[in-house]
Amino acid sequence: MQLVDSHCHLDDEQFNPDRAAVIQRAREAGLKYILSIGTGDGPPDLSVAIRQADQHDFVFATLGVHPNDAAKVKDDTFQNLEGLLRHPKVKAIGEIGLDYHWGVPKDVQLPVFLQQLEIAAAAKMPIIIHTRDAWPDTLDVLRTHWAPRGLPGIMHCFTGDAAQARECLDMGFYLAFGGVTSYPKAEAVRDAAHIVPADRLLLETDAPYLAPVPHRGKRNEPAFVAHTARALAIARQEDIEQLAAETTSNFERLFGFTS
């Protein structure tokens, strides 16, 4: 059974003591690909995920300015971002979006979000969306500034409800489900997962965060995506091997891999 972790943070300092072992465990757990998210500590260093991807043939990278780092943007940030897009292992711009949880002002976040949407559209690259406590504004921005372009994207760590899932699907997004899917009180997330078409579904860990049951509360890692796959298969009343094959195929199609 082959799996994909479509969203993790291999550069995170929590992996400093044993990063090589974490990556080896992922391989042993059947992961065909890992997508390492290149937000890191934000500007000026946007290449953190590229450095991880360059060391392993099955690890690929994204880059972008996380909404919580929007205030760190300088005059050359977007020029640097555009230059790094030429790296052969970069597959998407993200994670980008809006996050109202930590108090970064909307008028600081929004221009950074919009500029990265423009860069992604010009490069014809997928986007990976982060939204927290900002669903209405995030959907409004995407409806206005992304959906008309006809380009794909991923709603990372989807924790919305079925209505929000339908709106994202209508705009052409893939929905990626992580460890929250396995949490006992996440019924709305599982209800949303149940309605997602098989060809729009992805798995992720968001490691080292949001570890699934039975590792909840501990450091997450890519190998644990197998637990999320089981929870998602149960929620969708689907065979886990079929779900693994579907989500791996979706990842390959979205990012231009061939099996």
Number of domains in the chain: 1
Q: Which residues of 194-203 are buried (b: 16+ CB within 10 A; e: fewer)?
A: eebeeebbbb
User: What is the predicted pLDDT for the residue at 259?
Assistant: 55
Tokens at 2, concatenated:
């082959």
Instruction: Give pTM, 2 decimals.
Output: 0.97
pLDDT at 185: 97
How much is the pLDDT for 61?
98
User: Would you state the pLDDT for residue 40?
Assistant: 87
At 151 the pLDDT is 98
Question: Tokens 């080896």 identify what position?
Answer: 24
Which structural domain range is residue 52 located in? 3-255
Residue of 16, 1, 30, 50 whose CA lies nearest to 222: 30
Please give the average pLDDT of every successive group of 10 residues along the chain, which has 259 residues.
Answer: 97 96 97 96 93 96 97 96 97 98 97 98 98 98 98 98 97 98 97 97 98 98 98 97 98 89
| Residue whose entry in the numeric block shows the structure tokens 């780092």 | 69
pLDDT for the residue numbered 258: 72
Give the CATH number, domain containing residue 162: 3.20.20.140
